[in-house]
Amino acid sequence: MEFILRNINHNNLLTGLLLVSILLLVIVKYFYFNQFSDFLNIAQSNKYLTLYAKNGKKISVFNPLLYLFFVINCAIFIYLSIKNLQLDFAFFTIFIVVNLYILSFFLIKKICFEVVEINEIMTKILFQKITFNHYVGVLFFVFNLISLYVNPFPSVFYTYSSILFVGIFYLLFLLVIVFQNLRWLLANWFYFILYLCTFKISPLLIGGFLLSR
Protein backbone atom coordinates (compact mmCIF):
# COMPACT_ATOMS: atom_id res chain seq x y z
CA MET A 1 0.00 0.00 0.00
CA GLU A 2 1.34 3.38 -0.97
CA PHE A 3 0.69 6.39 1.21
CA ILE A 4 0.10 9.81 -0.30
CA LEU A 5 1.60 12.50 1.88
CA ARG A 6 0.72 16.16 1.56
CA ASN A 7 3.60 18.52 2.08
CA ILE A 8 2.02 21.10 4.35
CA ASN A 9 3.97 24.05 5.71
CA HIS A 10 2.83 24.12 9.32
CA ASN A 11 2.83 27.41 11.15
CA ASN A 12 1.74 27.10 14.76
CA LEU A 13 1.55 30.86 15.27
CA LEU A 14 -0.85 31.45 12.37
CA THR A 15 -2.88 28.36 13.28
CA GLY A 16 -3.22 29.67 16.82
CA LEU A 17 -4.29 33.10 15.55
CA LEU A 18 -6.94 31.55 13.28
CA LEU A 19 -8.26 29.61 16.28
CA VAL A 20 -8.39 32.90 18.20
CA SER A 21 -10.35 34.37 15.27
CA ILE A 22 -12.88 31.54 15.43
CA LEU A 23 -13.17 32.02 19.19
CA LEU A 24 -13.85 35.74 18.69
CA LEU A 25 -16.69 34.96 16.28
CA VAL A 26 -18.13 32.42 18.72
CA ILE A 27 -18.05 34.99 21.54
CA VAL A 28 -19.65 37.68 19.39
CA LYS A 29 -22.38 35.33 18.19
CA TYR A 30 -23.10 34.04 21.69
CA PHE A 31 -23.35 37.40 23.46
CA TYR A 32 -24.71 39.48 20.54
CA PHE A 33 -26.72 36.94 18.57
CA ASN A 34 -29.28 39.35 17.09
CA GLN A 35 -26.72 42.01 16.20
CA PHE A 36 -24.38 39.42 14.70
CA SER A 37 -27.22 37.97 12.61
CA ASP A 38 -28.11 41.43 11.32
CA PHE A 39 -24.44 42.02 10.57
CA LEU A 40 -24.20 38.86 8.46
CA ASN A 41 -27.36 39.86 6.56
CA ILE A 42 -26.02 43.24 5.41
CA ALA A 43 -26.11 42.10 1.78
CA GLN A 44 -29.86 41.43 2.10
CA SER A 45 -30.99 44.11 4.52
CA ASN A 46 -30.02 47.61 5.69
CA LYS A 47 -31.27 46.87 9.20
CA TYR A 48 -27.82 46.66 10.77
CA LEU A 49 -26.55 49.95 9.33
CA THR A 50 -29.80 51.74 10.15
CA LEU A 51 -30.35 50.40 13.65
CA TYR A 52 -26.88 50.10 15.15
CA ALA A 53 -25.48 53.34 13.74
CA LYS A 54 -27.91 55.12 16.08
CA ASN A 55 -26.75 53.01 19.02
CA GLY A 56 -23.07 53.64 18.41
CA LYS A 57 -22.59 55.52 21.69
CA LYS A 58 -23.75 52.57 23.79
CA ILE A 59 -20.94 50.67 25.51
CA SER A 60 -20.41 47.38 23.67
CA VAL A 61 -17.50 45.10 22.84
CA PHE A 62 -19.16 43.93 19.62
CA ASN A 63 -17.17 46.22 17.32
CA PRO A 64 -13.85 45.92 19.24
CA LEU A 65 -14.07 42.12 19.00
CA LEU A 66 -14.84 42.25 15.29
CA TYR A 67 -12.02 44.78 14.85
CA LEU A 68 -9.62 42.35 16.51
CA PHE A 69 -10.90 39.60 14.21
CA PHE A 70 -10.39 41.86 11.20
CA VAL A 71 -6.91 43.05 12.09
CA ILE A 72 -5.65 39.52 12.88
CA ASN A 73 -6.86 38.14 9.57
CA CYS A 74 -5.78 41.23 7.62
CA ALA A 75 -2.24 40.89 9.03
CA ILE A 76 -2.17 37.16 8.25
CA PHE A 77 -3.40 37.80 4.70
CA ILE A 78 -0.73 40.46 4.09
CA TYR A 79 1.96 38.27 5.66
CA LEU A 80 1.09 35.24 3.50
CA SER A 81 0.79 37.38 0.37
CA ILE A 82 4.19 39.05 0.70
CA LYS A 83 5.74 35.72 1.71
CA ASN A 84 4.40 34.12 -1.49
CA LEU A 85 5.85 37.05 -3.43
CA GLN A 86 9.30 36.29 -1.97
CA LEU A 87 9.35 39.31 0.31
CA ASP A 88 10.47 39.15 3.91
CA PHE A 89 8.58 40.91 6.69
CA ALA A 90 8.01 39.64 10.23
CA PHE A 91 4.37 38.92 11.07
CA PHE A 92 4.34 41.01 14.24
CA THR A 93 5.78 43.96 12.33
CA ILE A 94 2.88 43.74 9.89
CA PHE A 95 0.39 43.34 12.74
CA ILE A 96 1.70 46.43 14.55
CA VAL A 97 1.83 48.52 11.36
CA VAL A 98 -1.75 47.57 10.42
CA ASN A 99 -3.00 48.49 13.90
CA LEU A 100 -1.11 51.77 13.99
CA TYR A 101 -2.35 52.69 10.52
CA ILE A 102 -6.01 51.98 11.26
CA LEU A 103 -6.14 53.47 14.75
CA SER A 104 -4.07 56.57 13.98
CA PHE A 105 -6.11 57.40 10.89
CA PHE A 106 -9.32 56.80 12.82
CA LEU A 107 -8.28 59.33 15.47
CA ILE A 108 -7.07 61.83 12.86
CA LYS A 109 -10.38 61.55 11.01
CA LYS A 110 -12.39 62.14 14.17
CA ILE A 111 -10.34 65.24 14.99
CA CYS A 112 -10.66 66.60 11.44
CA PHE A 113 -14.41 65.98 11.41
CA GLU A 114 -14.78 67.92 14.65
CA VAL A 115 -12.68 70.82 13.34
CA VAL A 116 -14.72 71.26 10.15
CA GLU A 117 -17.99 70.53 12.03
CA ILE A 118 -19.13 67.55 9.97
CA ASN A 119 -18.73 65.00 12.73
CA GLU A 120 -22.37 63.84 12.82
CA ILE A 121 -22.71 62.79 9.18
CA MET A 122 -19.12 61.55 8.89
CA THR A 123 -19.51 59.44 12.04
CA LYS A 124 -22.37 57.68 10.27
CA ILE A 125 -20.25 57.15 7.15
CA LEU A 126 -17.32 56.02 9.28
CA PHE A 127 -19.58 53.47 11.02
CA GLN A 128 -20.59 52.11 7.62
CA LYS A 129 -16.95 51.85 6.54
CA ILE A 130 -15.95 50.08 9.77
CA THR A 131 -18.83 47.66 9.31
CA PHE A 132 -17.73 46.82 5.79
CA ASN A 133 -14.14 46.44 7.02
CA HIS A 134 -15.36 43.78 9.43
CA TYR A 135 -17.15 42.08 6.57
CA VAL A 136 -13.92 42.07 4.55
CA GLY A 137 -12.30 40.46 7.60
CA VAL A 138 -14.48 37.40 6.99
CA LEU A 139 -13.14 37.29 3.42
CA PHE A 140 -9.57 37.52 4.74
CA PHE A 141 -10.34 34.64 7.09
CA VAL A 142 -11.52 32.42 4.21
CA PHE A 143 -8.46 33.22 2.08
CA ASN A 144 -6.19 32.53 5.06
CA LEU A 145 -7.73 29.09 5.58
CA ILE A 146 -7.25 28.30 1.89
CA SER A 147 -3.65 29.56 1.84
CA LEU A 148 -2.66 27.64 4.96
CA TYR A 149 -4.48 24.33 4.59
CA VAL A 150 -5.94 23.90 1.10
CA ASN A 151 -3.28 25.52 -1.08
CA PRO A 152 -0.21 25.95 1.19
CA PHE A 153 2.14 26.69 -1.74
CA PRO A 154 0.11 29.03 -3.94
CA SER A 155 1.34 30.40 -7.25
CA VAL A 156 2.11 34.06 -7.81
CA PHE A 157 -0.98 34.23 -10.02
CA TYR A 158 -3.17 32.98 -7.16
CA THR A 159 -1.64 35.53 -4.78
CA TYR A 160 -2.22 38.46 -7.13
CA SER A 161 -5.72 37.16 -7.93
CA SER A 162 -6.68 36.98 -4.25
CA ILE A 163 -5.34 40.51 -3.65
CA LEU A 164 -7.27 41.77 -6.68
CA PHE A 165 -10.44 40.01 -5.54
CA VAL A 166 -10.22 41.58 -2.07
CA GLY A 167 -9.51 44.97 -3.63
CA ILE A 168 -12.55 44.76 -5.92
CA PHE A 169 -14.72 43.54 -3.04
CA TYR A 170 -13.56 46.45 -0.88
CA LEU A 171 -14.08 48.94 -3.71
CA LEU A 172 -17.66 47.73 -4.17
CA PHE A 173 -18.32 48.33 -0.49
CA LEU A 174 -16.94 51.87 -0.80
CA LEU A 175 -19.22 52.51 -3.78
CA VAL A 176 -22.19 51.32 -1.72
CA ILE A 177 -21.27 53.84 0.99
CA VAL A 178 -20.97 56.61 -1.61
CA PHE A 179 -24.37 55.86 -3.15
CA GLN A 180 -26.03 55.62 0.27
CA ASN A 181 -24.77 59.12 1.14
CA LEU A 182 -24.70 60.57 -2.38
CA ARG A 183 -26.95 63.55 -1.63
CA TRP A 184 -24.78 64.78 1.25
CA LEU A 185 -21.54 64.08 -0.64
CA LEU A 186 -22.69 66.07 -3.67
CA ALA A 187 -23.71 68.96 -1.43
CA ASN A 188 -20.31 68.85 0.31
CA TRP A 189 -18.10 67.72 -2.55
CA PHE A 190 -15.14 69.81 -1.36
CA TYR A 191 -14.94 67.93 1.96
CA PHE A 192 -15.32 64.63 0.13
CA ILE A 193 -12.44 65.36 -2.28
CA LEU A 194 -10.31 66.58 0.62
CA TYR A 195 -11.11 63.37 2.49
CA LEU A 196 -10.09 61.21 -0.49
CA CYS A 197 -6.84 63.08 -1.04
CA THR A 198 -5.87 63.09 2.65
CA PHE A 199 -6.91 59.63 3.82
CA LYS A 200 -7.05 57.49 0.68
CA ILE A 201 -4.72 58.73 -2.03
CA SER A 202 -1.82 60.14 0.00
CA PRO A 203 -1.26 56.92 2.07
CA LEU A 204 -1.09 54.91 -1.17
CA LEU A 205 1.43 57.34 -2.66
CA ILE A 206 3.56 57.34 0.50
CA GLY A 207 3.39 53.54 0.79
CA GLY A 208 4.34 53.11 -2.88
CA PHE A 209 7.27 55.49 -2.45
CA LEU A 210 8.56 53.64 0.63
CA LEU A 211 8.25 50.22 -1.04
CA SER A 212 10.07 51.42 -4.14
CA ARG A 213 13.11 52.56 -2.19
- At residue 157, the pLDDT reads 85
Element (H, E) at 142: helix 119-145
Tell me if 7 is assigned to some domain. no
Nearest CA to 139 out of 158, 116, 163 is that of: 163
- At residue 70, the pLDDT reads 94
- How many domains are contained in the chain? 1
- At residue 75, the pLDDT reads 92
Binning the chain into helix, strand and coil, the percentages to the nearest 5 are 80, 0, 20
Tell me if 4 is assigned to some domain. no
pTM (global) more than 0.95: no
- At residue 87, the pLDDT reads 76
Nearest CA to 156 out of 90, 82, 94, 211 is that of: 82
Low-confidence ranges of the chain (pLDDT < 50): 1-7, 209-211
- At residue 192, the pLDDT reads 64
- At residue 210, the pLDDT reads 47
- Give the model confidence (pLDDT) of 162-204 as tens digits: 889 888 888 888 887 777 777 766 666 666 666 666 655 555 5
Tell me if 177 is assigned to some domain. yes
99: containing domain: 12-40+60-212
Tell me if 46 is assigned to some domain. no
- At residue 125, the pLDDT reads 77
- At residue 22, the pLDDT reads 92
User: Do residues 169 and 136 make contact, with C-beta atoms less than 8 angstroms apart?
Assistant: yes
- At residue 213, the pLDDT reads 53
